[in-house]
Amino acid sequence: MVINKPTMGWNSWNTFGEDINEKVVMETADFIVESGLKDCGYEYVIIDDCWSLRERNEKEEIVPDPEKFPHGMKYVADYVHSKGLKFGMYSCAGTMTCAGYPGSLDHEFIDAKCFADWGVDYLKYDFCFHPFTTPGHVLYKRMGLALANCGRDIVFAACSWGSENTKTWIKETGAHTWRSTGDINDTWESIKELALSQYKVAEYNGCGCFNDMDMLVVGMKGKGNVGFKGCTVEEYKTHFAFWAMMGSPLIIGCDLREADEDAMAILKNEELIRINQDAAYRQPYFVNGNRIENPERKGDEPLFEYYPDHFPILVRHLEDGDIAIGFFNFTDSDRRDSFTLDAIGLGFHTGKTIEMKDVWTGEIRRPVNDTVENSLKAHSCVVYRAKVVDIK
């Protein structure tokens, strides 16, 4: 199985944690369809940790908790499928899941068969309670092989948090997405920490194995399992836009049944979803930054690297010749920065410039003196979809 675009959907963990049940899952599936989110591309409905009993049965199979899922998992999967959506579940590469339920260690083929029989389309595979005597890449290869031989196409969403230098080996395992971060929570500080951690891993992203920056907290407003302080609307916009620009899977984590208009407008932003789902899936790059010496330099590695501080300007070249451009202010004060068009491949004598459409407002603008410049309030962003046009 090959996937060519970042996955989009909803996951239960951020809001519900251990309080997950079939009613929540089925009502969320209903809402995704009725609200138009399905038409925007959100298709996976994923149950995270805490769905099973604490012990396996006599056949060594994981058993769904009959109080939470009285009709069983195939019933829930069939319901999700009846809505034209896909069904996802969770397991872990250790003896237990992160919340202490049975993990899949040494049961990979048994569990993969169960998931296939139930109609699972997506598996999030965590990394808690794994044996330190076995390298992570081996554990993920085990489940990768089990899923590839289970008789059903199942997206393999590896969740090793970037540990053990995941970026260098994850594509070997058959994983379709890989988590490069620790867990997100619903605070600006968490969003910022995860965003800034991506500067040096963007180059490992690509078709077939997408870098997962963890689930979205848009619309949580401080409620739920990882609610904590909550964020402003502007902070949620910056969060969603950065995840979209970086090509991360877009997995909603709020209780969609209670999502307000601001949250829905962010989650349904057509232009940002187009950028995130762009078929060419070229890696983003920075057009601003500081020249810093690499203290870990060895041999023929570059002496200097360029990375922005807390005001990155990201660019992605898109499949139709358009260009996505994002200014992000992760600082706590107003900031201004700019870049010249030669940084994106338009030399000063090409006779070309760009026409930029703001993805939030629809406003159209052009560079001045071959320069794109923006002043941003703290924690805010501006993103453009730009077309290459003749200078008039």
Residues with catalytic function: 126, 183
The two tokens of residue 44 are 């996976």
Q: Which amino acid is at 206?
A: G
Contacts of residue 142, Cβ cutoff 8 Å, sequence gap at least 6: 93, 108
Look at residue 363 and give its three-state secondary structure.
coil
Look at residue 388 and give its three-state secondary structure.
strand
Q: Which amino acid is at 149?
A: N
- Would you say 195 and 242 are in contact if contact means Cβ atoms under 8 Å apart? yes
How far is the C-alpha of 23 from the C-alpha of 273, rounded, in Å?
A: 29
Strand intervals (E) in 188-267: 210-212, 250-252
How far is the C-alpha of 293 from the C-alpha of 303, rounded, in Å?
A: 6
Residue 270, classified by CB atoms within 10 Å of its CB into exposed (0-12), middle (13-18) or buried (19+), is exposed
Packed helices 22-34 and 73-82: angle between N→C axes, nearest 10 degrees? 10
Place of tokens 């997405």: 177
φ, ψ for residue 29, nearest 5 deg: -60, -45
How far is the C-alpha of 110 from the C-alpha of 91, rounded, in Å?
A: 12
Cβ count near 42 (within 10 Å): 24
φ, ψ for residue 38, nearest 5 deg: -60, -40
The closest of 127, 121, 215, 224 to 166, measured between CA atoms, is: 127
- DSSP-derived letter for residue 331 is S
How far is the C-alpha of 365 from the C-alpha of 40, rounded, in Å?
A: 26
Specify the DSSP element, H or E, that contains 6.
none
The two tokens of residue 265 are 């407008």
